[in-house]
Structure 1
Amino acid sequence: MKSLRALPLPYFYGVLLFVLLALFAWSLGVGAVSISFSELPELVRHRLWDGGSVNALHEALFWEIRLPRSLLCILVGASLSVSGALMQSLFRNPIVEPGLVGTSAGSALGAALLIVLGQNTFFSGLHWLGSLLAPVCAFAGGMAATLLVYYFSASLRRVNVSVMILAGVAVNALANGGTGFLAYIARDPQARSITFWSLGTLSVASWKMVGIVSISTITGFLLALRLARPLNALQLGDDEARYLGVRTERLKFSVMLVNALLVAVATSMVGIIGFVGLIVPHVLRLLRGSDNRYLIAGSALLGGSVLLATDMVCRVLIAPAEMPIGIVTAFIGAPLFLYLLARARGGQKGGFYA
Structure 2
Amino acid sequence: MTTTPAAGATTSQAVLAGVVAAVAGFTSSFAVVLTGLVAVGASADEAASGLLVVSLTMGLGCLLFSWRTRMPVTLAWSTPGAALLAGATVPDGGYADAVGAFVVAGLLYALTGLVRPLGDWVARIPMPLANAMLAGVLLVLCVEPFRALADDPAAIAPVLLTWLILLRLARRWAVPGAFAAALVVIVVSGSLGDVAAGDLAPTLTWTTPAFDLVTIVAIGLPLYLVTMTSQNIPGVAVLASFGYRAPLQSALVYSGGMTAATAGLGGYSINLAALSAALAAGPTAGDDPSRRWIAGISTGVCYCLLGPLAALVTTVSAAAPAGVIAAVAGLALLAPLASSASAALADVDHREAAALTFVVAASGMTMLGIGAAFWALLAGGLFLLVMRVGVRSGSA
Q: Name the TM-score, length of structure 2 as normaliser.
A: 0.32
Which structure carries more relative contact order (alpha carbon 8 Å, separation 6+)? 2
Q: Name the TM-score, length of structure 1 as normaliser.
A: 0.35
